[in-house]
Amino acid sequence: MVATETPALWPADPEAMRAAAAAFDIKRLEPRFLDDPYPLYRALREHDPVHRMPDGSYFLSRYDDCAAVYRDVATWSSDKKVDFRPNFGDSLLYEHHTTSLVFNDPPYHTRVRKLLAPAFTPRAAASTSSTISPRPFRCSSSATCSACRRRSAGGCATGRSRSSAPSSPC
């Protein structure tokens, strides 16, 4: 039996990676990005850390840039009403995604976060551990889902157990 070498997902050539970073579009992800995004993240950090997306938004790949944007609420916003309306219309999903704490800016975000914070302290989490148990998972698809195809030894890539528990769609 002859061992065959698996072809690399990403080119080793720095110029090819620079081109891949320049062409990056989060709305049109390639399968190789889903399989291994880290080489492209590295190329974005090195060659295009504040990447302008085709839709006019920005993709930041350096921590300091992300932190600066996160702290500058006068310039940047988490509001997703404009982005989500075309996809979700006037639905419950739209309402959820536009009223969720994650997609709100200060002062509302700060006020609600302060109200919720006590529920997430280590002591509060420890007090609920007896009522929380892992929920087994089994892929119900007749054709194994992509997450299960990438599974590591002992379980699905989702991190859930692949026991004989009730099925759940992938």
Residues 59-93: pLDDT tens digits? 999 999 999 998 898 888 877 887 888 888 989 98
- Main-chain phi, psi angles of 132, to 5 degrees: -110, 130
According to the model, what pLDDT value does residue 139 have? 61
Res. 3: pLDDT tops 70: no
- Rounded Cα gap, residues 54 and 77, in angstroms: 19
Decide if 45 contacts 61 (C-beta within 8 A): yes
Decide if 137 contacts 168 (C-beta within 8 A): yes
Within this chain, do residues 44 and 62 fall inside the same structural domain, yes or no?
Answer: yes
Is residue 48 in some structural domain?
yes
Indicate the length of the chain as a whole number: 170
Within this chain, do residues 45 and 87 fall inside the same structural domain, yes or no?
Answer: no
For 109-117, the CB contacts below 8 A with 24+ separation are: 109/78
- Rounded Cα gap, residues 18 and 4, in angstroms: 28
According to the model, what pLDDT value does residue 168 have? 42
Res. 141: pLDDT tops 60: no
How does residue 148 score in pLDDT terms, banded at 50, 70 and 90? low
According to the model, what pLDDT value does residue 82 have? 79
Res. 151: pLDDT tops 90: no
Element (H, E) at 168: strand 167-168
Is residue 157 in some structural domain?
no
According to the model, what pLDDT value does residue 143 have? 52
Is residue 136 in some structural domain?
no
Is residue 89 in some structural domain?
yes
Label each residue of 54-89 as H, E or C. CCCCEEECCHHHHHHHHHCCCCCCCCCHHHHHHHHC
DSSP assignment letter at 99: H
Q: What is the rounded average pLDDT of the residues 37-65? A: 95
Within this chain, do residues 70 and 88 fall inside the same structural domain, yes or no?
Answer: no
CA-to-CA separations, 100 to 37, 52, 112, in angstroms, rounded? 27, 26, 10
Is residue 165 in some structural domain?
no
Within this chain, do residues 40 and 96 fall inside the same structural domain, yes or no?
Answer: no
Within this chain, do residues 15 and 37 fall inside the same structural domain, yes or no?
Answer: yes
According to the model, what pLDDT value does residue 158 have? 45
Within this chain, do residues 66 and 44 fall inside the same structural domain, yes or no?
Answer: yes
- Domain enclosing residue 72, as ranges: 10-76
Within this chain, do residues 68 and 88 fall inside the same structural domain, yes or no?
Answer: no
According to the model, what pLDDT value does residue 106 have? 85
Is residue 5 in some structural domain?
no
How many domains does the chain divide into? 2
